[in-house]
Amino acid sequence: MENNDTHMQQVSTPRTESGSPSATDLARIFNEVTTARLVLRRLRSTDGPAMFSVHGDPATYRYTPVAPHPDLATSEEMLQECLQHWEIYGFGLWAVTLAREAEKIIGFGGVEH
């Protein structure tokens, strides 16, 4: 089965003295990535209930030694940590939605420092 969701983009980005893009530039580049089927967008402060819906579900952790989130407060705490990561590094976890249902979060993914 072929996956046609590959999305390559050439972006010219100013560099810091170290030769790396700044956190602000990275955040601008990675704020939202779209494919034919998916939208990967930066997390929002209102994503706590969706995060709990995913991370509070025992099926999410079926094959891991980590327990599901016991309550919304735990997911809200994780969300705040993720938002802070974005502010510091300019990248982090995305909320994943279907392109045709952009407000319904189906999962989370991304890269952390």
Compute and round to an integer the Cα radius of gyration of the chain: 16
Query: How confident is residue 11, by pLDDT bands cut at 50, 70 and 90?
Result: very low
Q: What is the pLDDT of residues 92-105, one digit of tens each?
A: 999 999 999 978 99
Q: Taking all residues of the chain, what is their mean pLDDT, rounded to a whole number?
A: 86
Identify the three-state secondary structure at position 10.
coil
C-alpha distances out from residue 89 to 49, 50, 51, Å: 24, 23, 21
Query: How confident is residue 108, by pLDDT bands cut at 50, 70 and 90?
Result: very high
Is residue 23 included in any domain, yes or no?
A: no
Is residue 84 included in any domain, yes or no?
A: yes
Q: Where are the alpha helices (DSSP H) in the chain?
A: 23-30, 48-55, 72-89
Is residue 42 included in any domain, yes or no?
A: no
Is residue 16 included in any domain, yes or no?
A: no
Is residue 70 included in any domain, yes or no?
A: yes
Q: Which of 44, 22, 60 is closest to 97 using CA atoms?
A: 44
Q: What is the pLDDT of residues 55-89, one digit of tens each?
A: 999 999 999 999 999 999 999 999 999 999 999 99
Quote the number of domains for the chain: 1
**What span, in angstroms and rounded, lies between the C-alpha atoms of 56 and 74?**
9
End-to-end CA distance of the chain: 32
What pLDDT shows up at residue 1?
44
The angle formed by the CA atoms of residues 81, 34 and 93, to the nearest 5 degrees, is: 15
Residue-range definition of the domain harbouring residue 87: 47-110
Task: Evaluate if residue 107 carries a pLDDT over 50.
Answer: yes
Number of Cβ within a 10 Å radius of residue 29 = 15
Q: Could you tell me the pTM of the whole model? A: 0.76
